Amino acid sequence: MRQRRKAREVAMQVLYGLDLAQGRLPEAVDLFWENFEAPEKVKAFSSALVAGTWQNVEQIDALLGSCAENWSVERMSRVDRSILRMAVYELLYCHDIPPKVAINEAIDLGKLFGSENSGAFINGVLDALYARLRADTNLTK
């Protein structure tokens, strides 16, 4: 599972870059891999996370905005926003990943890359969102 952790770190960095520069998806991924090496499994999983997240960013941001009490998506730090977007993508579309894993991985990324409050902030937003998803869809994972 260490490879999936590394893939999430890569995906978060590419998503951050896309958010910062409003770049184009294929170029952002290609640029990253021109400068860094990783096993093929890491490349494949991170590329899938980035593509899926970025292609669904409007829906994801709407969900985030509805679950982040007193916070608009635009006010969130880019690091936290990138991590949250990826985690929401995993919750919505990656049915092979248990929701608790997606949430815990996001919290860990927040602690590693964000501010001292990022882990708690990400935890609060994702807990609220996951509770809503479970109530709306009877999700039982």
DSSP for 98-126, please give it: -HHHHHHHHHHHHHHHS-TTHHHHHHHHH
pTM of the predicted structure, to 2 decimals: 0.90
Q: Is the pLDDT of residue 29 over 90?
A: no
pLDDT digit string (tens) for 41-58?
A: 999 999 999 999 999 999
Q: Three-class SS of residue 13?
A: helix
pLDDT digit string (tens) for 81-118?
A: 999 999 999 999 999 999 999 999 999 999 999 999 99
Fold classification of 2-137 is: N-utilizing Substance Protein B Homolog; Chain A (1.10.940)
pLDDT (0 to 100) of residue 103: 97
Instruction: Give the position of tokens 């958010």.
Output: 19
Cβ(74)–Cβ(114) under 8 Å? no
Domain ranges of the chain: 2-137
Q: Is the pLDDT of residue 140 over 50?
A: no
How far is Cα 93 from Cα 70, in angstroms, rounded to an integer? 26
pLDDT (0 to 100) of residue 138: 64
pLDDT (0 to 100) of residue 11: 94
Q: Which structure tokens are listed for 10?
A: 């890569």
